[in-house]
Amino acid sequence: MRAAASILHLDLDAFFAAVEQRDKPSLRGKPVIVGGIGGRGVVSTASYEARRFGVRSAMSMAEARGRCPHAAFLAGRFDAYRAASRIVMDRLRELSPLVQPLSLDEAFVDLAADPDFDPDHLESLVVRLRADITERTHGLTCSVGVASSKFLAKIASELNKPDGHFIVHPGTELDLLAPMQVTAIPGVGPATAERLRRLGVETIEQLRALSLDELTRALGTAGGRSLHRLARGEDDRPVEAHREAKSISVEDTFPVDIADRSELASVTDTLARTVARRLRAAGQSGRTVTLKMRRHDFETHTRSVTLPGPTDHPRVITEAALGLLAAADVTGGLRLLGVGVSGLADWVQDDLFSEPPDDEDDAVPLPRRAVRHRPGRQWAAGMDVTHAEHGDGWVWGAGLGRVTVRFETRLTPSGPIMTFDENDPALFARSSDPAGTVES
């Protein structure tokens, strides 16, 4: 551990959902769930209002609808999230040249890399940082932790969430960790926690009392050594600066455009398992799964979902990628499909003793079947639109040849709801403002 608390971890609160609430006045203070809205979709982010009903990231949308049926279910606007993230990352780079983004909504900062860093003014630095981010992003909030290591900084950022911060002062690290459940340590899931419970261990303080030999006998060499060090707050991983989160990805270009969803799902399954295999070979794991699609007209789109923690599990990556595909419009066919994982880490959030991953070589392609594509333009819930007569708004819902729009933006009051034919020539999609705010 460092002698001073100089590693900062920032996590934007309920990021995707918060951007939607910021830009859609009628959703402020209400449950909002962002993710794949198709039958096989998964939750990317749930607002805190939705979390009160038990909705969480990586949960199936079907379960989320059962838990919180009155929520707003939105497909998401990746361009808006990317623009807001850019504002935050730029602000972090004003603190230090060493900024390590983990995903769009999370990053580490090595404050000691700034020669002007003064540990005695750390509290005011963090307060000013949080206020600046809220001001520059027009209302988004973040949670911040500062400590002597990455591990402790990440734990600290969770302690006063949302919209808070916690500084782990030198010399207090072990006292802070002692009463925490062992599941606070990355890699300790239900199965590992059960193994430790059989050893009489439920808290980090109790874990610290076990010798390295006892832990390696119970958990194996790698797992035992890792937990032995982290229980003592020992983590010497450096902050590694790069402009964008590193990723591992693979894509396939088809000789003939594919519009059959079952065939696309089979390709996605194969690509996702290939990415998982490459992650494991590289000793890496990642939080954000991205699906890349190039349409028949060469227009390229990406959809992403951020998982609760890093993984290299083929089943988890595959289910996330298939959920993204299920929510995508493939009318007219795709000429390219890709799957990538970013937000890479050298540790895995998955339980050390969870069910072993499927054998990637035994992957069975999904059966092909005829798929009827609905004619007309596709309108995803939450997307930004403009009507020639009524102005700017967003898609409230669509189906049966109709599209319902709520006319409002971040800079206007909550507006009226109107329904149009899905092929209304006066209605068209629009992009988010490059500065991260919706056009008005």
- What's the CA gap between 214 and 220, in Å, rounded? 10
- Residue 307, burial from CB neighbour count under 10 angstroms (0-12, 13-18, 19+): buried
User: Helix crossing, 122-136 with 78-93: angle to 10°?
Assistant: 150
Residues 6 or more apart from 118 whose CB is under 8 A from it? none
Which residue, among 61, 72, 67, 69, has the nearest Cα to 35 in the 3D structure? 61
- The interaxial angle of helices 190-198 and 212-219, nearest 10 deg, is 130
Q: Tell me the C-alpha distance between 101 and 306, whole Å.
A: 13
- DSSP-derived letter for residue 181 is B
Q: Contact 130/161 with Cβ under 8 angstroms?
A: no
How far apart, in Å, are the Cα atoms of 338 and each of 75, 117, 192? 19, 42, 34
Residue 353 backbone phi and psi in degrees, to 5? -120, 35
Q: CB-based contacts of 434: which residues, under 8 Å, 6+ apart?
A: 83
Catalytic residue numbers read 106
439 touches 429 (CB < 8 A): no
The token pair at 46 is 């749930």
Instruction: Report yes or no: 308 and 57 within 8 Å, Cβ to Cβ.
Output: yes
Bridge-based pairing state of the strands 417-421 and 427-429: unpaired
CB 266 within 8 A of CB 364: no
For 42-75, b where at least 16 C-beta lie within 10 A, e where not — what string?
bbbbbbbbbbebebebbbbbeebbebbeebbbbb
d(CA 174, CA 185): 13
Contact by Cβ (8 Å): 418, 407: yes
At a CB cut-off of 8 Å and minimum separation 6, what does 121 contact? none
